[in-house]
Amino acid sequence: MKKTYKIEVDCAVCAGKVQDAMSKVEGVNSVTVNFMTQKMIIDIDDEKFDEVLKKAIKAAKRVESDFEVYF
Amino acid sequence: MSKKLKKRLIRIIITASLYLPILIADKIINLSTVIPNTDLGWLLPLSIYVVIYLIIAYDILIKAGKNIIRGQVFDENFLMIVATFGAFVIMEFPEAVAVMLFYQVGEFFQDLAVGKSRQSIAELMDIRPDFANLIHENGEIEVTDPELVEVGQIIRVEPGEKIPLDGTIIRGSTSIDARALTGESLPVDVVEGSDVISGTINLSSSIDIEVKKAYQDSAVNKILELVENSTNVKSKQENFITKFAKWYTPIVVISAVLLILIGSLVTKDWMNWVSRGLNFLVVSCPCAIVISVPLSFFTSIGKAAKIGILIKGSMYLENFNRAKTFVFDKTGTLTKGNFAVSEVIPKYRREEILKYAAICEGQSNHPIAMSIKKEADYVANSDVILTNIPGEGVAAKDGKKVILCGNAKLLSRYGVKFEETNKVGTCVYVAINSEYLGVIIIKDEVKEEAYDAINYLSKEGIKTIMLSGDNEEVAKDVADKLKLSEYHASLLPQDKVLKLDEILSSKKENELVVYVGDGINDAPVLARSDIGVSMGGVGSDAAIEASDIVLINDNLNSLLLTKKIAKKTITIVYENIIFAIGVKVAILILSIFGLAPIWLAIFGDVGVALLCVFNAMRSGKIK
């Protein structure tokens, strides 16, 4: 399932780093972190969506502590 | 300005107002000599500068600390800290503070610029309708979320309100402002039975609309989705800078370390080499291009959307600029798709001929009849007796006059002597009382702006090809008029796909082909071309889905504007890439030889980034 979230990411390089880190998390089929629109589109299989999303955000925060996702 | 930005600005101002007087004082009386008779006089200026440094750098220190724990060595915050610490170590205190101060100034302006750009997109998002007045079957009106309204339900839109959903007017007439969608500033008049699209504004009076599409499928939602997702399809340049950024920083940092180590070992003058190496660290951030390139595309796509040009991604903007072959559909794209009188022969009897023809066509709604009536601007008496001769034309009896109006067959049948014309188009012959008057030539009109558009493209060295379902003569006529490079006539819809395949396979590998159509019957062709452009296609889902660029209005000027926007954007992107890399490399080389003071390196970092950001903001601005 693809979901779009409003996010906060401070710079273009950071957005790239965050996207890289999240896409390496197992279970994330695809992820786009858009610095310009401050939005993230993430595709994770339905049954483990919440669990994988949590992991992905954790991975993102590891590379960029200012990264925020708004639910 | 956001809170975050305001806070940063205040810090910058405080730091600058402390820093400047101290710097001046330091230059005049040299603060390290204030305390007499000691070797530790430098501790005074150091402590003053460190205090100022902490005011401006504390957040970066924290961030860098966090990142270094996580092993992010090439983090820009960390590198700035190393560079400034290094400056402190080699006794360049004011420089250390300056690097940080200017770095913050640079960040501030970057955020400001991006915020501004984002805001202009947010203004566009203003077309999102907030509510719908749903009319229940019992006549009650409920204010609800447009997403909850179902197809077939009736909604009321009061003057001044946004039309929330696509549908057909079933009561009332009004005028509509579609500027937010099409960039067209003239209001459009609509009546009962007219289709209206969501995102437009009802100007004058209350109307009831039968909803034809659910919110997810509505024009406004499609447009919003398209624009919001557009920056996700990256251009070649954006991919390049992502790669560049990955390598640039590590390479510069490692070079800096090597430079300091080797230089110090060879000459033993380590202070000098540390200072050279620090320059490397200061310019090690590729921020200038990393931010300015996507910003250019984003700004352009946003500004284009505001004037009714929807571009599905940076990549398409770039490819559109690169394409050297434009293939056009004829009817509805190059021509208006409606018929109009192009010529009346002989010219001196023009008004007479048109008047009689209008009398004959008085009751017909056929496009040809309509075009004659429009041109003649004459309303016939109702006591004319009209006789329709199928496939040939009309005979009218107006008092004693018998008027004939139709094709050659009709006149021959009535024994009128005349010569057939060899003009291209639909010919309507007119005769009165068996005497031949003249002929009206009717054609699908070429759009007025098509001449300029094709002319511009040709000047850019672009090959223009027209595909048409019409016969050879009509197609040739349009092609000649517009001076197209090529045309192909008598094509059935499936032939168009074959023809486009032919064009696609005959091109060189790197060449790109643009197809421009009205999106009604040409979804397959739109999808097959490298860049599909559909015109006037807000209503058509297939067109929006299949094309890469959607022009909301069907004016070819939009195509021209798209071309200009694309060209300017790509120029700016390259300017920025070349300028930023050029300046940084130049500073790196000068630094190796010790010819670049740290101030120059600061310019190479912050100055270049700012110039690039300001340059990027010019994108999409077309006079």
**CATH number for the domain including B196?**
2.70.150.10
Q: Is A70 touching B (CB cutoff 8 A)?
A: no
pLDDT (0 to 100) of residue B539: 52
pLDDT (0 to 100) of residue B516: 92
Are the beta carbons of B211 and B129 closer than 8 angstroms? no
β-bridge mates for residue B385, sequence order: B397
| Mutation target vs A (from B110, B242, B311, B605; most A CBs, 10 A cutoff) | B242
- Closest Cβ–Cβ partner in B70, B228, B290 for A62: B70
Of B565, B559, B551, the C-alpha closest to B618 is B565
CA distance B115 to B1: 8
Are the beta carbons of B194 and B160 closer than 8 angstroms? no
Query: Crossing angle for the helix pair A49-63 and A12-23, nearest 10 degrees?
Result: 140
pLDDT (0 to 100) of residue B623: 58
Around Cβ B403, how many Cβ atoms within 10 Å? 22
Of B573, B491, B620, the C-alpha closest to B294 is B573
pLDDT (0 to 100) of residue B271: 84
Residue type, B428: V
Residues in chain A within 8 Å Cβ distance of B294:
12, 35-36
Residue type, B421: T
Q: Is B388 within a domain? A: yes
Contacts made by residues B17-25, CB under 8 angstroms, sequence distance 24+: B18/B52, B18/B55, B19/B52, B19/B94, B19/B97, B19/B98, B19/B101, B22/B48, B22/B49, B22/B52, B23/B94
- Closest Cβ–Cβ partner in B70, B229, B291 for A12: B291
Each residue of A23-69: pLDDT tens digit?
999 999 989 888 877 888 899 998 899 999 999 999 998 888 778 89
Domain end point (choices B159, B189, B213)? B213
- Angle CA(B552)–CA(B553)–CA(B554) in degrees, nearest 5? 120
CB contact under 8 A, B295 and A16: no
pLDDT (0 to 100) of residue B170: 93
Rg (CA), chain B: 35
Q: Is B506 within a domain? A: no
Are the beta carbons of B304 and B568 closer than 8 angstroms? no
Domain end point (choices B160, B182, B213)? B213
Q: Which residues of B touch A (CB under 8 A)?
A: 63, 66-67, 70, 72, 76, 110, 114, 117-118, 121, 228-229, 231-232, 242, 245, 286-287, 290-291, 294-295, 298
pLDDT (0 to 100) of residue B437: 87
Are the beta carbons of B114 and B295 closer than 8 angstroms? yes
Q: Is B438 within a domain? A: yes
In angstroms, the first-to-last Cα distance of chain A is 16
Q: Shortest Cα distance from A55 to chain B (angstroms)? A: 16
Are the beta carbons of B339 and B442 closer than 8 angstroms? yes
B620: left (phi over 0), alpha (psi -120 to 50) or beta: left
CA distance B191 to B178: 15
Q: Shortest Cα distance from A36 to chain B (angstroms)? A: 7
Domain count, chain B: 2
**pLDDT, mean of each 10-residue run, chain B (623 residues):** 84 93 87 75 87 91 83 77 89 89 87 79 74 90 90 92 92 86 76 88 91 86 75 81 83 90 88 87 81 86 84 90 91 80 84 85 74 78 77 82 85 84 81 87 85 93 88 84 90 83 86 85 82 76 79 86 93 94 92 88 87 86 66
Annotated catalytic residue, options B75, B166, B177, B329: B329
Residues 6+ apart with CB under 8 A from B438: B344, B345, B346, B349, B353, B429, B430
CA distance B569 to B581: 18
CATH class of A2-70: alpha beta
Residues in chain B within 8 Å Cβ distance of A37:
118, 121, 228, 231
Q: Shortest Cα distance from B546 to chain A (angstroms)? A: 21
Q: Is B343 within a domain? A: yes
| Residue B432: strand, helix, or coil | strand
pLDDT (0 to 100) of residue B540: 63
| Mutation target vs A (from B7, B8, B61, B66; most A CBs, 10 A cutoff) | B66
Q: Is B265 within a domain? A: no
| Mutation target vs B (from A4, A5, A6, A13; most B CBs, 10 A cutoff) | A13
pLDDT (0 to 100) of residue B622: 67
Q: Is B3 within a domain? A: no
CB contact under 8 A, B70 and A66: no
Question: Residue B411 belongs to a domain with what CATH number?
Answer: 3.40.1110.10
User: pTM of the prediction?
Assistant: 0.77
Domain end point (choices B445, B479, B512)? B445
Q: Is A61 touching B (CB cutoff 8 A)?
A: no
Active site residue B329: yes
3-state secondary structure B93-160: HHHHHHHHHHHHHHHHHHHHHHHHHHHHHHHHHHHCCCCEEEECCCCCEEEECHHHCCCCCEEEECCC
- Closest Cβ–Cβ partner in B76, B114, B232 for A34: B232
Backbone angles phi, psi at B341, to 5 degrees: -70, 125
Of B127, B124, B313, the C-alpha closest to B229 is B313
The DSSP output letter for A46 is G
Residue of B nearest to A9 (CA): B111
Residues in chain B within 8 Å Cβ distance of A63:
70, 72
Backbone angles phi, psi at A47, to 5 degrees: -65, -30
- Closest Cβ–Cβ partner in A11, A34, A63 for B72: A63
Predicted-assembly ipTM surpassing the 0.90 threshold: no
A–B CB contacts, 8 A cutoff, strictly below: 42
CB contact under 8 A, A37 and B63: no
CB contact under 8 A, A62 and B290: no
- Domain range for residue B176? 150-213
